[in-house]
Amino acid sequence: MNFVISSHMKKIQMVDLNGQYEDIKDVVNNSVLNVIESTTFINGPEVHSFQSALENYLGVKHVIPCANGTDALQITMMGLGLKSGDEVITADFTFAATVEVIALLQLTPVLVDVNPDDFNINIGAIKKAITPKTKAIVPVHLFGQCADMDAIMEIAKAHNLYVIEDNAQAIGATYTSKNGTKTKAGVISQIGSTSFFPSKNLGCYGDGGAIFTNNDDLAHTIRGIVNHGMYKRYHHDVVGVNSRLDSIQAAVLNAKLPRLDAYCNARREAANKYDEAFKGQEKIITPFRSGSDNNHVFHQYTLKVNGVDRDALAQHLNDNGIPCGVYYPIPLHSQKAYQDSRYDEADFPVTNQLVKEVISLPMHTELDDEQIAFISSTIIDFING
């Protein structure tokens, strides 16, 4: 490629939070200041307005804000009344939060392999893992792309299981089911959760999370759990936790939620430009897209490299001022905390391979053409050089 990289190219970042802030600075500054001046730091009006705005956006009856995405997952499992010894099936190739809360609640995590193309939980592997003790499946919509929810919901129905969507990476994605129904990711099953960690697609300026459900009883139970198990002040009916979204974080999210669709589009456009730049490169496998166009919101743009030393490529990118990430370098079933004698390496061929081949490139809403050209040509030159 013959791109001339100008000396004033913006510094490339994995996630450009500052560039995004510039655009919403006035709104954010005003609303955060407003919280400080009103001193309604906990459960202020911003939390309530964000909650209804998000219910509206997702088309779901109840959004219950909480302190972070990990809490959100834990609280969903508490709300469903899962008990010690219940088996919960989730993906081997994901962030540890999912398996961590299963283990913390003394449920039994059952890790299963993923698909080689979209990196999401594998349907055959789920079926194989079901036992009489299985109570729930937790699909993670990994890197911003929805898992095969039609198939997962079918299995759940047949075996009477809960499905908990870990939507920390795919907020804003729209899932189109076989019958043509369009549903926002996170509200396809009975219950879902998300994270507003700063680098997520809808990120606040600290920690935050939320739980989604259309079920009134479950929503009621969960609203108590997030607040010390209280349904009436100082009456503790169930064991709860303290997990709240700060008013200041809600103020930031109120400024960003109206822009979420534009943010998702910006990410998809950047992904399309990367795809275009890597066309014809046999050693580079660009992200597979399942389903319709808006099924993927590119939380990460993750390549697989074939016949290339992935770690040497990552080093080369870093040497050229290009940040990159390996999500995830170790399968969860091989992590010290989550090893289990029941696991058989032969059941994880895909994850075991992916951890050696994946590399995630800078992906955010402010990525420009010059940066994408520089990143892609640096990769292509290294691979063919």
Cα dist. 23→19, 30, 148, 189, 216 in Å? 7, 14, 35, 35, 38
> Could you tell me if 170 and 300 are in contact, meaning their C-beta atoms sit under 8 angstroms apart?
no
Least distance to ligand PLP from the beta carbon of 54, Å?
15
Taking CB under 6 A as the criterion, the residue among 65, 69, 139, 224 binding ligand PLP is 69
How many whole angstroms separate alpha carbon 102 and alpha carbon 108?
7
How many whole angstroms separate alpha carbon 315 and alpha carbon 302?
16
Q: How many residues bind ligand PLP (CB under 6 A)?
A: 15
Q: Which is closer to ligand PLP, CB of 70 or CB of 295?
A: 70
Taking CB under 6 A as the criterion, the residue among 105, 137, 168, 375 binding ligand PLP is 168
Q: Give yes or no for residue 76 binding ligand PLP (CB under 6 A).
A: no
Least distance to ligand PLP from the beta carbon of 299, Å?
7
> Could you tell me if 300 and 141 are in contact, meaning their C-beta atoms sit under 8 angstroms apart?
no
Contacts of 362 (CB under 8 A, 6+ apart): 12, 13, 14, 15, 301, 322, 323, 324, 371, 375
Taking CB under 6 A as the criterion, the residue among 195, 213, 371, 378 binding ligand PLP is 195
**Helix (H) / strand (E) containing 63:** strand 62-66
Q: According to CB under 6 A, which residues from 29 to 68 bind ligand PLP?
A: 68
DSSP 206: S
Q: Which is closer to ligand PLP, CB of 327 or CB of 374?
A: 327
Taking CB under 6 A as the criterion, the residue among 93, 95, 119, 162 binding ligand PLP is 95
Q: Give yes or no for residue 169 binding ligand PLP (CB under 6 A).
A: yes
Angle between helices 97-104 and 69-79 (to 10 degrees): 40
Q: Give yes or no for residue 94 binding ligand PLP (CB under 6 A).
A: yes
Q: Give yes or no for residue 114 binding ligand PLP (CB under 6 A).
A: no
- Interface residues with ligand PLP (CB under 6 A) are 68-70, 94-95, 97-98, 140, 166, 168-169, 195, 197, 207, 209
